[in-house]
Amino acid sequence: MPRSLTEQEKEMQRQLLLKHGKELSFRYGISRVSVDDIVKDAGVAKGSFYNYFSSKDDFLYQLILQIHEEGFAEVNQLIEVIGKLSASEKRAQIKRFFLALMNDPKQRFLLKERQEVENFLARHSKDSFAEIEKMEIDNYQKIIAKLSLGEKNPFIIQNYIHIIFFGVSHKELLFVDYIDATVEVMLDGLLNYLEL
């Protein structure tokens, strides 16, 4: 009889499934990836998948949540770095961060699959969708506090960032040669609002 996995080994296997599921979802889209695809790519028995996730929907929810958490972890790392910079260096660093974020595979996935993700979350559970929205707002409020931004409205910040990303995701409507310059102008507007 095989030995039982330790809690650490179980978490490693769960993360392995998420990693492979994320890579496949980035490549093919969430609607085209099956549980069989994920376990095959991860080299894990199909039954093991259900030790960590009750269904593909539960897996996708955990994946979307993880992507959001990773994104906010990157923002928090940025905040640690810019806290020691001058005002002009701070603005330049934030702009570089956002321009790099535009090409991040996680962000491209969320933009490309936005409708699928929203449909999935609405189908999965209103509580799940509300949990992700709450997590986003909580994180924006923490960012405001860390940057000592006073009474800035986290909903305005979230909307501003989403408008930039959703706008850029529709490159077919834009003059491609001017996207980065346009994003910089929009970021200047956000940074002016934040008084950074």
Tell me what the mean pLDDT of segment 70-93 comes to: 87
Q: What is the pLDDT of residues 27-56, one digit of tens each?
A: 898 888 999 999 999 998 888 899 999 888
Q: How far is CA 56 from CA 30, 38, 48, 108, 120, in A?
A: 10, 10, 13, 22, 11
What tokens does 20 get?
Answer: 């492979």
Residue 1's pLDDT band (cuts 50, 70, 90): low
What's the CATH class of domain 1-53?
Answer: mainly alpha
132 versus 13: which is more confidently predicted? 13
> In sequence order, what are the residues at sequence separation of 6 or more whose Cβ sits closer than 8 angstroms to the Cβ of residue 29?
112, 113, 116
In the chain, where the domains are located = 1-53, 55-194
The proportion of the chain whose per-residue pLDDT surpasses 70, expressed as a percent, equals 97
- Quick one: CA torsion of 62, 63, 64, 67, rounded to 10 degrees? 120
* pLDDT above 80 for 114: no
Q: What is the pLDDT of residues 130-179, one digit of tens each?
A: 888 888 888 888 888 888 877 888 888 888 888 888 787 777 888 989 98
Give pLDDT, residue 2.
65
d(CA 109, CA 106): 5
* pLDDT above 80 for 69: yes
139 versus 124: which is more confidently predicted? 139
Give pLDDT, residue 125.
67
